[in-house]
Amino acid sequence: MTKNKNLIIYYSRTGNTKEIAELIQSMVGGDIIRIETQEPRPANYRKEVEQNQFEQGTDFLPELTTVIDNFDDYQNIFIGTPTWNMALPQAVLTFLRTYDFSGKLILPFNTNGGYGTGNTLNQIEGNINGAKMTSGFSVKGGEENKGILFTIEGIHKDGVSTKLDNWLKQNYK
Ligand SMILES: Cc1cc2nc3c(=O)[nH]c(=O)nc-3n(C[C@H](O)[C@H](O)[C@H](O)COP(=O)(O)O)c2cc1C
């Protein structure tokens, strides 16, 4: 067992954050796991917007099917999330509140529809038991409100890869 084992954990509805997670894995290696909820999420965008707002407003924590058995083995935890209503999807909070991050290095990454990370990075930082967190990596992904679902491809993907490479050089030793 190596001490520097990487876990790349992410939440993704339309594949943008997933794509970044896979790019990170191709660059640094490690295990990759998707956060999934017990209850399927609404397929309809408007319904998801409403349900998410309700969950954020009531601090409801959706149950997950995702279980990480050997969490203690990981030293570097890359946590990927989209911005939802300028904050974390509550499923990511369920994940954060389930595990003890003490002594680990947290490397957060984000995609959003153009309004930025919002509160997502602060929320991650506030739920990792004081573990060290690097600066976040964030790029524009989809704009589902305009029917644009997945964008990390072609020339945009090339630009994202270069930016990601630089972020890793600065934050991942
Ligand atoms: C419920 C919901 C709420 C969203 N809220 C925001 C937001 O507040 N700001 C923003 O820039 N993008 C917002 N978006 C757009 C997503 O952050 C963006 O499409 C992201 O790339 C999706 O990542 P994914 O493809 O990994 O699911 C929202 C999307 C959804 C589905």
Atom of ligand 1 nearest to the CA of 49: 1
89 CB near ligand 1 (under 6 Å): no
Confidence of residue 3 (pLDDT cuts 50, 70, 90): low
Q: Where are the domains of the chain?
A: 5-171
CA distance 50 to 56: 10
* pLDDT tens digits, one per residue of 44-55: 999 999 999 999
Cα 70-71-73 angle, rounded to 5 deg: 75
Q: Does 119 sit in the ligand 1 pocket, CB within 6 Å?
A: no
Distance between Cα 75 and ligand 1 center (Å): 29
pLDDT tens, residue by residue, 99-143: 999 999 999 999 999 999 999 999 999 999 999 999 999 999 999
> What CATH architecture applies to the domain 5-171?
3-Layer(aba) Sandwich (3.40)
Annotate 85-106 with DSSP letters as a single string: TTB--HHHHHHHHHS--TT-EE
In terms of pLDDT, which residue wins out, 1 or 120? 120
User: How far does residue 142's CA lie from ligand 1's centre (Å)?
Assistant: 7
Does 85 contact ligand 1 (Cβ within 6 A)?
yes
pTM attached to this predicted model: 0.97
Give me the mean pLDDT over the 30-51 stretch. 98
Helices (H), the chain: 16-28, 45-58, 90-98, 120-125, 154-171
